[in-house]
Structure 1
Amino acid sequence: MSVVAKTTDSATAGAREYLTFRLDQEEYGIDILKVQEIRGYEPPTRIANAPSFIKGVVNLRGTIVPIVDMRLKFNCAQADYNSFTVVIILNLRSRVVGVVVDSVSDVMELTPDSIRSAPDIESAIDNSCILGLGSVGERMLILLDIEKLMSGLDMGLASTSE
């Protein structure tokens, strides 16, 4: 009951919660409502002719889930798979997708006044997939529109029914 009340209070203030994770030296945030679960990394089954950033698929309780290595997608230096490496399972529209990240930090609540628009610069991430830059103290988060990012044609994950 208190969780519902807290969510309602946050919604009225315009604050949103973001799951933060690290890729190389950068810290990113995605809408916590898109996150289904967080799992330890296990090598997926490789798919022939898939883009290099799609590591393969895993069977998650009967659902076949494609696994995207965000380090490869964002052109980060190749990172080692270690005990901190995790897979964030996302529930996007009617699609379940896993993303490999270096580590998950925490869940942060950001108000609209703590989010700035992203500068218009050339990067590995399509600017339309960046919601903005969130700042909390000394920390700077790159806030991603993960649903838009994962549904891009270059991802090879778009459903033909959409």
Structure 2
Amino acid sequence: MSDTVASQTVLEEEDSQKDKYLTFVVDGDAYGIEIRHVTEIIGLQKITPVPDMPEFVRGIINLRGKIIPVMDMRVRFNKPFREYMERTCIIVVDIHDLSIGLIVDSVAEVVNIPAAAVAAPPDLTRRGNRFIMGIGQAAGEVKLLLDCEKLLTDEETEQLLNN
């Protein structure tokens, strides 16, 4: 395959993922993350706790021989922990060259939210707003669109990479 064809293929893949978000629910609120960050969605499995991790990092899982840290999005968003249910699942994403699992209450669907339907997040001083890149509207519903790059601080990423 020539470089030109390979470049065009990459551009077509990026274009097909443009404005597409995987939506999910955490504590009754609807969120979305850009589909380009999502590797896969898996059912909940045995999580091995790791000492000296932030509270929101529940531990690690072995996914086909690859060790992946998992974080509970409820705890990350300072919401109360809840026992996992039948619909609880893990969204595997790539953040800062690190595969990480996001434990969510349930996954909804992939929706198309054009940039014109995304508003800036409110300018509040609450720390939790750092995760929000925008507020999107799809099918008359509001979705809080997350910035995957900001789900972990540089220090937290370094801590996960070194354990």
TM-score for the superposition, normalised by structure 2: 0.82
Within the alignment, does 1:138 sit opposite 2:140 as a pair? yes
CA contact (8 A) 1:29 1:143 kept: yes
Shift of 1:63: 1.3
TM-score for the superposition, normalised by structure 1: 0.83
Structure 1 runs not aligned, ≥5 long:
none
SS in 1 for 2:128: coil
Provide the identity percentage. Answer: 32
Shift of 1:143: 0.5
Structure 2 runs not aligned, ≥5 long:
1-7
Shift of 1:71: 0.4
SS in 2 for 1:66: strand
Deviation string 1:71-91 (CA, Å, 9 cap, x unpaired) is 001011222201100000112
Please name the residue that 1:16 is paired with. Answer: 19
Within the alignment, does 1:157 sit opposite 2:160 as a pair? no
Please name the residue that 1:116 is paired with. Answer: 119
Structure holding more helix per residue: 2
Within the alignment, does 1:36 sit opposite 2:39 as a pair? yes
Matches within 5 A, 1:64-75: 64-75=67-78
Please name the residue that 1:56 is paired with. Answer: 59
CA distance in 1, matches of 2:82, 2:43: 15
Q: Which amino acid aligns with 1:123?
A: R
